Structure 1
Amino acid sequence: MKHNIRYAAGSDVGRRREQNEDAGYASPRLLVVADGMGGHAAGELASSSAIAVMREMDGTLPETGCDLESALEGAVHEAARRLVELADLDPARRGMGTTVTAMLFDGYRFALAHLGDSRGYLLRDGALYQMTKDHTLVQSMVDEGRITEDQAAVHPRRSMVLRVLGSEGRAEPDMALREAEPDDRYLLCSDGLTAVLGPEVLHEVLTTVADPGAAVQRLIDLANQGGSPDNVTVIVADACPPGDGDSIVYRVGAGS
């Protein structure tokens, strides 16, 4: 069965930052969250540049017959090349980077690309699944059995990211291809959300707030009320029957 998506996106600078280094993009077939890093406004440039490349890809893809994984992975590699070029123009930009978590749909399936510690979640049949794995120091320590998930949540180096899209060269994203199912709900978010809201709260909001736009705003509000230390960017999308999907394009956060 073919699906469209109904979706909304939002980004907030938060209560502890002066600038928004997050960026987000949502269209009828592409959802992307990017969380930039680097001094002298380089984080904003990194995330907005990655989004710009993704948007360009979205505008040139054929309506049918697209290899979702190849198209999305190619856009990630092009974004990496773009960041290297920008860093070469200004030494102050060297070391800048951005997370990227993106989903590309064709109505039946979606490709998922992921670098960094932004996250993608799937709500299906009432259960919430984390589709991505954080590329962080603490996640590697959890994987090795050195610390527990609870210890990772409060570890002093929990924000150290090991793999991002950066000006140092090409990084390979985690890639996956999944089937879309009726009534799926998808959440893409920066770590400004998940730093303070656990899976139980995410599940509660996603299962009780039906409208994607209202769900986005509720999650951002809860993150800020919870003392999020970072910018907060959220995209919520629902798989729906053909004819019920949205056609608006959202560009939020840095560069919007």
Structure 2
Amino acid sequence: MRAAMLSHVGLVRSNNEDSAFAGRRLLVIADGIGGLPAGELASDLIVKMLAPLDDGPEPEHPLASLREAVEAANRQIRETADAEPGREGMGSTVTSLLMASEQIALFHVGDSRAYLMRDGALSQLTKDDTYVQTLVDHGVLTPEEARAHPQRSVVTQAVQGDEFTPSGAILSPQAGDRYLLCSDGLSDYVSEEAIAATMRTYPDQRECVEGLVQHALHAGAPDNVSVIIADVSA
């Protein structure tokens, strides 16, 4: 994978609670939970715990390796919150891809997203762990209504020092695939059509992440926005 990453504080927030990593085989987006203490610390802990997977020998079981690293970060988050009561409730989303041999493992908790563009068509690989996604699943809201719902950012689970139920998958990459990982600072404010058009327009990864972040800024960027673009070559 060849990847580029960009994280921006946005136009409203005073600090950036997102953390991100883009290496030679590991991609991570972690979005600290807004409104709760030390969200930026939680997201940073997750990324630091996952980052060693980018070095050394390829893991034999990449999905299990991702889960073990996130569970270790989850224990650190619990220990930090227990030691400093003012940080109780600190947490973060995490969405990560790890390439091993000819597979890519996908690990996901929360509402940061992973997308795949293959042959010009964009598909969402993750499902948001959010209140509004539950309403969509039960037919109460349409996906379009969910995008504008005032509670669209309320997550139903995160890596927060307690038990969580991640989703995961083993993907079969093809040469020419383009992956996007992003925090909800992009996906909540920029349409999927605009995201797809930008990913088709800019073959260079750096220009593509800059173009996607610019879309979020033009939309007002009320949240932090973090974007990773990674291309798979033979």
Measured against the shorter chain, the TM-score band is over 0.9
Cα separation, 2, equivalents of 1:38 and 1:221: 22
Structure 1 unaligned segments of length 5 or more: list them: 242-256
Bigger shift: residues 231-240 or 145-154? 145-154
Cα separation, 1, equivalents of 2:139 and 2:35: 34
User: Does 1:20 pair with 2:13?
Assistant: no
Indicate which of 81, 87, 102 corresponds to 1:87: 81
Which SS does the other structure have where 1:146 is aligned?
coil
Instruction: Determine which structure has greater relative contact order: mean sequence separation of CA pairs < 8 Å that are 6+ residues apart, divided by chain length.
Output: 1
Q: Flag the 1:88–1:133 CA change in 2: closer, same or farther, 3 A.
A: same
2:191 — aligned with what? 198
Indicate which of 43, 48, 53 corresponds to 1:47: 43
CA contact (8 A) 2:131 2:156 kept: yes
Summarize deviations over 1:77-102 as a string: whole Å, max 9, x none: 11111111111110011111100000
Cα separation, 2, equivalents of 1:147 and 1:38: 24
User: Does 1:78 pair with 2:72?
Assistant: yes
CA contact (8 A) 1:73 1:175 kept: no
- What is the TM-score when the length of structure 2 is the normalising length? 0.96
Cα separation, 1, equivalents of 2:33 and 2:75: 17
Indicate which of 116, 133, 143 corresponds to 1:139: 133
Q: Letter of the aligned partner of 2:111 in structure 1?
A: D
Which SS does the other structure have where 2:32 is aligned?
strand
User: Does 1:124 pair with 2:103?
Assistant: no
Q: Letter of the aligned partner of 2:170 in structure 1?
A: L
User: Does 1:69 pair with 2:52?
Assistant: no
Q: Letter of the aligned partner of 1:162 in structure 2?
A: T
Describe how 1:1-256 pairs up with structure 2 within 5 A: 5-37=1-33, 42-59=38-55, 61-63=56-58, 66-167=60-161, 169-241=162-234
Summarize deviations over 1:1-56 as a string: whole Å, max 9, x none: xxxx1110010000000000000001111000000025575011010011010013
Summarize deviations over 1:220-252 as a string: whole Å, max 9, x none: 1110111121000000000013xxxxxxxxxxx
Q: Letter of the aligned partner of 1:122 in structure 2?
A: L
Bigger shift: residues 76-85 or 123-132? 76-85
1:170 CA displacement: 2.6
Instruction: Give the 4+ runs in structure 1 shifted more than 6 A.
Output: none
Which SS does the other structure have where 1:101 is aligned?
strand
Q: Letter of the aligned partner of 2:14 in structure 1?
A: E
1:163 CA displacement: 1.0
Give the % identical residues.
44
Which SS does the other structure have where 2:180 is aligned?
strand
CA contact (8 A) 2:6 2:227 kept: yes
CA contact (8 A) 1:11 1:232 kept: yes
Cα separation, 2, equivalents of 1:84 and 1:9: 29
Structure 2 unaligned segments of length 5 or more: list them: none
Which SS does the other structure have where 1:66 is aligned?
coil
Q: Letter of the aligned partner of 1:114 in structure 2?
A: H
Q: Over aligned residues, Cα RMSD in angstroms?
A: 1.3
Q: Letter of the aligned partner of 2:9 in structure 1?
A: V
Cα separation, 2, equivalents of 1:160 and 1:172: 17
Which SS does the other structure have where 1:215 is aligned?
helix
